[in-house]
Amino acid sequence: MMELREFISTLEKCGYLRKINNTVNWKFEIGEIARQNHTQPLLFENIADYPGCRLFTGGFSRIDYLGINLRLKMPVNRMSILAHIRHGLKNPMEPLYVQDCPDCLYKDADEVNLYRLPVPWWNPLDGGRYIGTWHLNITKDPFTGKRNAGVYRMQILSKNQATVSVSEKSHLAMHMENAERQGKDLEMAVAIGVDEVLVLTAASSVPFGYDEYSFAGALRGEGVKLRQCKVVDLEVPFEAEYVLEGKIKCGIRVKDGPYFDYAGKPGINPAALLFEVSSISSRADAIFRGMAAGRAGAEDHQLFYILSALNLLDFHGSALRQRIQNFFLRHRMYSLFQLSGRLGAMVKSIKRELGEK
């Protein structure tokens, strides 16, 4: 594996990391600096109101950094990274189950407070603070017990509640549908600050039931180390900096947004899921990981480029929109990729308006 902190120190040794030690504000300032420096890994070491907390962003902002992360022989090129991932996809490697991480600190239900994490308000156009921007959402299918890891944005609503903005066709939405058929809440764990390869595999569109942890193990050449959660029956990466555990509430939908997204526009999901957190664990000196969306060519777009080149990208939109978005991504025309994302949203809202009339 390459834990997040090992990756950060490797980037530093290679001279790619920029440390920011002057005090920055979590409200708008971190997001603004991250968007202005969207091709560079940044470590914020002094966050106003959060003494001792650090935040990392930009680890995926250049494809070379993925090569470093995968420990590929330098200099790497895009073709060798893509070949490595293609090989991994066909050779999944089972995860390993290990004991609890030695420096984990737990906060139980009455101590849970999401506002104690250094979560930025990434953009003045956002409706609030987004805790989930570059992370894993882990759930199990209530019928089969099979696991899913995905990346679905999450906005803090209160000290123990957050949204989960899932598209209807996502695997988490399918797990939720199965839980609701039984009239039950759905257990979920959220791991923030994990091996970057895990985020790549979670964002991949792989068949329902295919284990993203095994995919990540294949890319690493060793099984991903997992630990058991404390209050839910789920497994999370052993080295995660922060883990939130709790339940998605049955039958409840809430508004998520506005959120300034990959397409460079603020979007709203009027029917997001509601996550209630009952336990938080963090490593000693935990490093928060997040991502400032909305800038053409930033790290989310680099990830989408990789996935698109591997046919592993699915925005769950129309086939035509998907083709257009893939075309722009594969040619690394990121501004046009954003524009196609905005057009898609426009068509959707026109359809909604017409449907309502």
Ligand X SMILES: Cc1cc2nc3c(=O)[nH]c(=O)nc-3n(C[C@H](O)[C@H](O)[C@H](O)COP(=O)(O)O)c2cc1C
Binding of residue 153 to ligand X (CB under 6 A)? yes
Kindly state the smallest distance separating residue 208's Cβ from ligand X, in Å.
7
Q: Residue 342 and residue 266: Cα distance in Å, rounded? A: 10
Kindly state the smallest distance separating residue 324's Cβ from ligand X, in Å.
17
Whichever of 86 and 230 has its CB closer to ligand X, that residue is: 86
Binding of residue 321 to ligand X (CB under 6 A)? no
Q: Looking at 82-90, 179-187, 200-208, 223-231, which segment touches ligand X (CB under 6 A)?
A: 200-208
Whichever of 46 and 167 has its CB closer to ligand X, that residue is: 167
H-only helix segments in the chain:
4-13, 29-36, 63-69, 78-90, 171-181, 196-203, 212-220, 299-309, 319-330, 334-356
Whichever of 37 and 279 has its CB closer to ligand X, that residue is: 37
Binding of residue 303 to ligand X (CB under 6 A)? yes
Binding of residue 176 to ligand X (CB under 6 A)? no
Binding of residue 148 to ligand X (CB under 6 A)? yes
The burial of 21, by beta-carbon neighbours within 10 Å (0-12 exposed, 13-18 middle, 19 or more buried), is given as exposed
Kindly state the smallest distance separating residue 148's Cβ from ligand X, in Å.
5
Binding of residue 203 to ligand X (CB under 6 A)? yes
The burial of 261, by beta-carbon neighbours within 10 Å (0-12 exposed, 13-18 middle, 19 or more buried), is given as buried
Q: 81 Cβ partners below 8 Å, 6+ apart?
A: 63, 66, 67, 70, 72, 306
Binding of residue 302 to ligand X (CB under 6 A)? no
Q: How many CB atoms lie within 10 A of CB 39?
A: 14
Whichever of 24 and 298 has its CB closer to ligand X, that residue is: 298
Which 3-state string (H, E, C) describes 100-148?
CCCCCEEEEHHHCCHHHCCCCECCCCCCCCEEECCEEEEEECCCCCCEE
Q: 218 Cβ partners below 8 Å, 6+ apart?
A: 87, 88, 89, 91, 92, 93
Q: Looking at 39-47, 49-57, 163-171, 331-339, which segment touches ligand X (CB under 6 A)?
A: 163-171
The burial of 101, by beta-carbon neighbours within 10 Å (0-12 exposed, 13-18 middle, 19 or more buried), is given as middle
Among 155, 170, 281, 340, binds ligand X (CB under 6 A): 170
Q: Residue 182 and residue 342: Cα distance in Å, rounded? A: 37
Q: Looking at 49-57, 183-191, 198-206, 224-232, which segment touches ligand X (CB under 6 A)?
A: 198-206
Among 44, 130, 134, 334, binds ligand X (CB under 6 A): 134
Among 30, 166, 254, 309, binds ligand X (CB under 6 A): 166
Binding of residue 305 to ligand X (CB under 6 A)? no
Q: If DSSP codes are grouped into helix, strand and coil, which group holds residue 341? A: helix
Report how many residues bind ligand X under the rule CB under 6 A. 19
Q: Residue 113 and residue 97: Cα distance in Å, rounded? A: 29
Binding of residue 151 to ligand X (CB under 6 A)? yes
Binding of residue 152 to ligand X (CB under 6 A)? yes
Kindly state the smallest distance separating residue 48's Cβ from ligand X, in Å.
25
Kindly state the smallest distance separating residue 74's Cβ from ligand X, in Å.
25
**Positions that interact with ligand X (CB under 6 A):** 134, 148, 150-153, 165-167, 170-172, 203-205, 291, 300, 303, 314
